[in-house]
Every structure is written in C-alpha cells, then in structure tokens.
Amino acid sequence: MNALEKLFIRIVQRVNINLRELEFDAKPYVWDLIPKEQMKKFYAFYGISPDHPLNLQFKNSGLAGSYFLGQCRVTNSLLYKTDVRGDELKKKGDRFQYNNLTIPVSKDEEIVIEDSAFVKTLIHNYSHDPETLEKFFIKDTISTHYANIHGSPSDGCFLGPFSTVDLTTMRDCVIGTFSYIQAGEISHLNIDPGTVWVRSPGSFNFLYRYPIDQLNTYIYFKAGIQPQGKFIDFVEDRKEAFQRIFDLVNIDPVPVPDSSSLDRYAVIKPKTEIGENVLISQRAYLQNSTLGKGANAQENCFIINSKLEGNNVTAHGAKIIESDLGKNVFVGFNSFLRGRPECRLKIGRESIIMPHTIIDISKPLTIPAGQLVWGLITDEKDLETNSISINSMSKIDNRLTKGNMFFEGSGKSFVSAFQDRIQHILEANGAFFNCTKKKGHQKGQQKELQKGHAQKNQNMSINTIQPYPRGKLEGLYPTISIKP
C-alpha cells in the first residue's frame, strides 16, 4: 500500500466519523471513483496574473488534473480534475454585510482544504459564513462528479454527483445526487437526491423534489457503481475534445473581441461566435453557438447549437442544447436544457431558469419572457405546472403549491434575491465593461469601467506542476509553496 492509498483511507475514515450519526459509510460509494492509477498521469495547473492574488500551498496531497487560482491551501487531500477558484475572496479592509451587521475583514481570505477528496468538483466564491470571514474552510469532506461547492464552508460532508451547495455552511451532512441547497446553514441532514431547496430564514422557503424514478434516467448513483444516466453519457461523449486540449502544449488560438476572455482549457468547436464582454471559463464547451455581448459560459458548461442574445448567465455546470435564449436569461447551476434540431427550445428575455432544472423536449417549446422555471419539464403541460411569471411570484406573500413545488414567505424577497444576484454575477464577470474617454485628456486615452473576469482573465499565464511518477509517493505531489 503506497502513500496515496493510505491518504485515501484516512480521508474516508474521517468523513465516516463525522457522518456516524447518519449511519453513512462513504467507502463503498467512492473507493473506485478516484482512479488511483490515474493520479500520476495528470498534471495540476495554476494561473498567474497581475489582477489576482497569488498564494498557493500544497502539502501531502494528490492534485491530478486540478486547477488553482488565487489564495488556496491544500493539505492531506486528493483532488482529481477539480477546479479551485480563489479569485473572488474577500480582502483585508472589506466590509462583510450580514443582516444588520457590518463586519470588517481583518486579513485576506483564503480557501483551505484539509483531509478531503474531490472528483471533478468546482470550488468557487468566498465564504458566506459570518463566523469565518477570512477562511473558506473545507475539511473532512468528499465530493463526487460535477458537484459545486459555491461559497459554502464544509465540515464532515458527502456530496453526490451533480449536487450543489450554494452560499451555505454545512456540517456533517449528506447531499444527495443532483440536489441544490441554498439554505444559510445546515447540520446533520441527509438530503434526498433531486432536492432543490432555497431558503432565507424568516423571509422565504422554496422546496422542490424530483420524482426519483424520472431523475434516475438522468443521473443515478449508488454504492459500488459509477454514476450513470443521460448526464454522464452527455459528458462522456465529449470527453475526447477536452483530452486533446490538455494533452497539447500549444493550441491554435480562437479570436475573441478585446473585451472578452477565452480560457486556455475551454473547448471551442467550429461556427461559434463570441461577442464583446463575454467570459468563457475553463472546461467550458461551445459548439456552433452564438454568445451575445455580456454573456458567459462558466466552468463545466456546455452550449451547443444555441444562441444567447446577451447578458446571459450560464452558471457552473449548466448545459444548453438546441436552444434560443433572449437577453438577460439566467440558467442556474447544473441545469440541463435540451431542445432538438427539429423542435427548438425558446426562452424569453428576463426569465430565470432555477438551478438544477431539467427541460428535455421532443416538441417545440416556448417559455414566455419574465418566467420563473424549475423542476422537470418535457412539454407544455409540465411547463404550466413548473413555472410562474416573475410578476405573479413577486405578489405571493403567504404560500404557493404547484405540483411538487412548495413555497412559503415573501415572493417579492425571493425574486429580488435572484435578480440582485444575477446583476452581481454580470458585474463580476465584466458584462457591463466599457471604455470611455477621460475628459480633459488627449485623444485615445481611456478609462476602464466595470472591469470583471472577462477582462481580468486576459492577462493570465498558466503553469503546471507534476506528481511523483513512481515509488511509495507515486501520485502525490511534493510540498509546494507558490507566492509572489
């Protein structure tokens, strides 16, 4: 038994100790998910730019195929093709607003990962826990294929495939396959697969549960087997395109406007048009599609044979196929929108497709402008059950039940929370970037306004690091500290 296997055993044991009250054993779920023979075959990589902090530290860890940016510390952990983005962390002197409190940040925040294992997981944003302003901690946690840990500190948890924990602190929890949780703080919960839960205590509570038999056709996961279903098949069918860009040192550049950013590790297939102020993140996949001004394609997104008019947010892991989206349409985490060549999906402007929504149609479907959409939709009847106009939702002040969805509280607060967040995402990604001439200065001099990721990521160099190729430490990385 080499050091890599001993480390994995240690991680599984620590997670199981935390989850003992839930009587959950992580080992049969994950022992074969991290391919130990592959841990030595993939390099890790990190970004350097004048617009991002740099403080990376790795100790006694495997990092195969993983990406790092900003301030990240990894200790006693295994990360396999995982993205850790520390480019939106809080800085010393910032003010963190929590309810009626304004709390000063005393030092620069960092992402700290300890005694954890991740498979193809995205870790991003800053800690939204007021108790840990300077540390986005993740410890004693295992996360599986294409999960998202977004601004969500974690202690002693297990995340199933395609799950998302968003702006939530979780302790000793199991997050079921394809579940989305945004609940502030949760503890000692076993969340069923296919749960979509958005809660702001004292303000609103949104809850939807997928019919499990229908969800299983899209993603199914149990102890002793690899994840399977339409989601996995979709990703696996496009695996070779990503393998090529990771194998090649130099790739032919794809021209993009000066105000846009295309990541070195994104896949761009022919007949794709990229407008101004567009952000395309690593591991995004675009084919025969148009992204209008201010649109973005975040990590693990797929946009195929589709048109996005502009200022569209395609959140982490979302997939858009054979679809036409009007301006300012939001598509949430890990959503799956699939039209067909002969029956396209059309979504009107200003609509909100909630995280973990599945729209999979065999007849043409048009979603009107200004709709809130959730759940599983295959036809007009499903759309009627699983949507409501944003205007009508804003008028709810008590309770609403539609199909498998239950809502209570202030619809206005719920809608405002989404709309404010969408605006913030667009601003952070540089969708509203503009150059205007400085008054009183010579011709040609310009002032940059609302510079975001689409502009900041342009001046980034990518560097690689390698693991031990053989011996007892095979697959592990040496202790490394990378600082300015």
CA 74 remoteness from chain centre: 19
The predicted pLDDT at position 436 comes to 62
**394 Cβ contact partners less than 8 Å away, ≥ 6 residues apart:** 411, 412, 415
Return the pLDDT at 74: 98
Q: What are the structural domains, with CATH classification, of the chain? A: 3-234+460-482 (2.160.10.10), 243-249+259-428 (2.160.10.10)
How many whole angstroms separate alpha carbon 358 and alpha carbon 109? 35
pLDDT value of position 444? 47
The list of the chain residues with pLDDT below 50 reads 437-441, 443-447
